[in-house]
């Protein structure tokens, strides 16, 4: 349903959707926040602003317009990204990818949790604020590239790191995500408590079953 490689992305420009379905990402910034292209493989990735001790820290997120095409409803969904985060870049919580919030239509989200830097997958249903969380038992905050995938199929929510299962939880069979929020990469938004992602990001994707 959506795919982003960042290979042709420059500062302050839209990120094209390489799936061909037209879900381009637009940058939004505050306090001078910018994305910085960094090498990754034969292409490039996007480096988000790092940790900051100032009162007005640079912020940047990427977001689509809201679209029902990126809502899975009760169907199976998988989504993921390739990330690089140093141990010194961890925080209480960093949102890599999310659509929606824990209320008002539900959500799906990939985040990196707390100082140890363990990724997790989060889903909530449109009719309940109960948070369903599958947390990895390994860290990705070691300064090297890792692929992270969230996979919802039926009552299973599973997190994979570098292609291997590293955590799972059982979720309600009728969990439904149907919200009017945009897809956002790099944080909830631009406020001081937006859980900003502070690493480098590449190869973001979303698949929803028909």
Considering only residues 207 and 127, tell me which one the structure prediction assigns the higher pLDDT.
207
Give the pLDDT score at 210. Answer: 82
Query: Exposed, middle or buried: residue 37 (CB in 10 Å: 0-12, 13-18, 19+)?
Result: middle
Could you give the number of structural domains in the chain? Answer: 1
Find tokens 């659509």 and name the residue. 99
Q: What is the mean pLDDT of the chain?
A: 93
| pLDDT band for position 12 (cuts 50, 70, 90) | low
Dist CA 57 CA 173 (whole Å): 41
What is the per-residue pLDDT across 190-202, written as a single tens digit (0 to 9) for each?
887 889 999 999 9
CATH at 132? 2.60.120.200
Specify the length of the chain in residues: 210
Dist CA 180 CA 208 (whole Å): 17
Tell me which residue range forms the domain holding 184: 2-208
What is the longest distance spanned by two Cα atoms in the chain?
46
Q: Is the pLDDT of residue 37 over 90?
A: yes
Measured in whole angstroms, how far is the alpha carbon of residue 177 from the centre of its chain? 16
Q: Is the pLDDT of residue 10 over 80?
A: no
């Amino acid at each position: 349903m959506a795919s982003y490689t960042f290979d042709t992305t420059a500062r302050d420009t839209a990120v094209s959707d390489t799936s061909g379905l037209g879900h381009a990402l637009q940058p939004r910034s505050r306090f001078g926040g910018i994305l910085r292209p960094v090498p990754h493989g034969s292409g490039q990735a996007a480096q988000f602003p790092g940790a900051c001790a100032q009162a007005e820290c640079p912020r940047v997120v990427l977001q689509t317009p809201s679209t029902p095409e990126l809502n899975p409803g009760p169907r199976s969904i998988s989504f993921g990204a390739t990330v690089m985060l140093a141990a010194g870049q961890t925080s209480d919580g960093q949102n890599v990818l999310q659509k929606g919030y824990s209320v008002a239509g539900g959500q799906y989200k990939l985040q990196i949790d707390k100082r140890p830097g363990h990724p997790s997958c989060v889903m909530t249903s449109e009719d309940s604020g109960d948070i369903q969380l599958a947390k990895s038992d390994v860290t990705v905050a070691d300064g090297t590239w890792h692929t992270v995938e969230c996979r919802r199929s039926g009552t299973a929510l599973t997190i994979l790191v570098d292609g291997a299962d590293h955590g799972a939880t059982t979720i309600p069979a009728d969990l439904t995500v149907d919200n009017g929020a945009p897809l956002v990469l790099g944080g909830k938004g631009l406020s001081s408590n937006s859980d900003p992602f502070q690493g480098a990001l590449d190869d973001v994707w979303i698949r929803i079953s028909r």
